[in-house]
Amino acid sequence: MRAVVVHGPGDVRIDERDMPVPGPGEVLLALEWGGICGSDIAYWRKGASGTAALAHPMVLGHEVAGRVAGLGDGLGDRVGGGLGVGQPVTVHPARPVGDGVLPPRIAGRTNLYPRVRYFGSAAFDPHTDGGFSEYRTVPADQIRPLPEGVDTEQGALAEPLAVALHAVGRVPELRGRTVLVNGCGPIGSLVVAAARLRGAGTVVAADLSSSSLKVALAMGADDTRDLSRGEPLPEDVDVGFEASGAPGALGPVLRSTARGGTLVQVGNLPGTAAPAALGDLVTREITWIGSYRFVDEIDDALRALRDGLDVTPLITHRFPLERAGEALAVAADPGSGSSKVMLRLAAGA
CATH assignment at residue 183: 3.40.50.720
Say whether both 93 and 134 belong to one domain: yes
Q: Are 7 and 138 in the same domain?
A: yes
Q: Is the pLDDT of residue 76 over 80?
A: no
How far is residue 134's CA from residue 113's CA, in Å, rounded to a whole number? 30
278 and 299 belong to one structural domain: no
Mean pLDDT of 76-97: 81
- Is 249 within the bounds of a domain? yes
Same domain, 306 and 340: yes
Domain's final residue, options 290, 314, 332? 290
What is the extent of the structural domain holding 86? 2-160+294-344
150 and 9 assigned to the same domain:
yes
Mean pLDDT of the chain: 95
In a domain, 128, yes or no: yes
Q: Looking at the structure, tell me whether residues 111 and 154 fall in a common domain.
A: yes
Contact between 262 and 168 under an 8 Å Cβ cutoff? The reply is: no
- Does any domain span residue 94? yes
Euclidean distance between CA atoms 293 and 175, whole angstroms: 23
pLDDT, residue 213, reads 98
Number of domains forming the structure of the chain: 2
Residues 139, 110 share a domain: yes
In angstroms, the first-to-last Cα distance of the chain is: 16
Radius of gyration of the chain (CA): 20
- Residue 270 confidence (pLDDT): 87
Which CATH number is 132's domain given? 3.90.180.10
Residue 166 lies in a domain: no
Per-residue CA distances from 309 to 87, 143, 194, 281, 305 (Å): 21, 21, 10, 34, 5
**CA 267 to CA 244: how far, in whole Å?**
5
Residue type, 318: R
Q: How far is CA 233 from CA 48, 118, 162, 199, 228, in A?
A: 33, 35, 26, 21, 12
Is the pLDDT score of 81 beyond 80?
no
Q: For residue 273, tell me if it sits in a domain.
A: yes
Average pLDDT over residues 184-195: 98
pLDDT tens for 317-345 read 999 999 999 999 999 999 999 999 999 99
Task: Specify if 165 maps to a domain.
Answer: no
Q: Are residues 10 and 140 in the same domain?
A: yes
Q: By the 8 A CB rule, do 170 and 145 touch?
A: no
327 in a structural domain: yes
In the prediction, which pLDDT does 78 show? Answer: 53
Q: Are residues 139 and 20 in the same domain?
A: yes
Domain termination residue (choose one: 244, 266, 290): 290
Tell whether 32 is covered by a domain.
Answer: yes
Cα Dmax for the chain: 61
Considering the domain architecture, whether residues 136 and 13 belong to the same structural domain is answered as yes
Closest residue by Cα to residue 84 from 1, 27, 44, 33: 27
Does residue 216 sit in the same domain as residue 285? yes
CB crowding 282-302: b at 16 or more within 10 Å, else e: eebebeeeebebbbebbebbb
Buried b / exposed e across 169-208, counting CB within 10 Å, b at 16+? Answer: bbbeebeebbbbbbbbbbbbbbbbbbbbbbebebbbbbbb
Min mean pLDDT across 78-82, 102-106, 134-138 is at 78-82
What SS3 state is found at 279? helix
**In this structure, which long-range contacts are made by residues 147-150, counting pairs with CB atoms below 8 Å and at least 24 apart in sequence?**
147/302, 147/303, 147/305, 147/306, 148/306, 149/306, 150/88, 150/302, 150/305, 150/306
- Specify the pTM: 0.96
Same domain, 17 and 150: yes
Which of these ranges, 70-79, 121-130, 150-159, has the smallest mean pLDDT?
70-79
